[in-house]
Amino acid sequence: MKMLFMVLLSTAILNVVAFGQSVPPASSSSSTTYVRPNAEKRFKRYVSDTVGPQAWIGIVSGAAFSTAFNTPEEWGRSGEGFAKRVASNLGRNVVRNTVMYGLDEALKLDSSYYRSPNRDVGSRIRNALISPVTARKANGKRTVGIPRIVGTYTADVVARQFWYPARYDWKDGMKRGGISLGVNAAFNLVREFIFKK
């Protein structure tokens, strides 16, 4: 378990350090200064989050770690197993981001991560931990993050139902969805504390 935590943490640090400029500045998360990105920016962010460089770092590094731990074991530790994991991670990413983008647009929400405008440690930790389950309304106020929650669980359930080995089912997808939200919170903690205001 310690090894898995270190792997996830190092992946988060790599993602944030390599592409930290994509994290919106802290001042843009305040409900008084928040401005909902226009349609073009929202769509570009969707494409970038789905198949952009940072997305590929997560997809490939996740596949490498899954290959090292041989999960699922039916895919093996071979190059073919690695390729299956890359394809699986890409598929999950496409499903998650497409569902999230569609729901964000339909509900007029913004599920993107914004650093805390407050610089105290407690506010920054709270912001990082609640961001995976919240979204912003057009006025910048937080609300339940239905797009991210539904997108995350849908992606993991779809993967387990359609292309994972037969021993997996939707229940495994639901368990993995919860883990995915937790991993997202860990990535957010790194984003919060690695950059200065």
Nearest to 156 by CA among 184, 192, 114, 191: 184
User: At residue 131, what is the residue type?
Assistant: S
Residue 101 binned pLDDT confidence (cut-offs 50, 70, 90) = very high
Tens digit of each residue's pLDDT (9 = 90 or more) over 8-28: 444 444 443 333 334 444 444
User: At residue 45, what is the residue type?
Assistant: R
Cα–Cα distance measured from residue 104 to residue 97, given in angstroms and rounded to the nearest whole number: 10
- What residue ranges do the domains of the chain occupy? 2-194
Residue 194 binned pLDDT confidence (cut-offs 50, 70, 90) = confident
Q: Please state the rounded mean pLDDT for residues 58-66.
A: 93
Q: Please state the rounded mean pLDDT for residues 98-104.
A: 96
Cα–Cα distance measured from residue 169 to residue 150, given in angstroms and rounded to the nearest whole number: 17
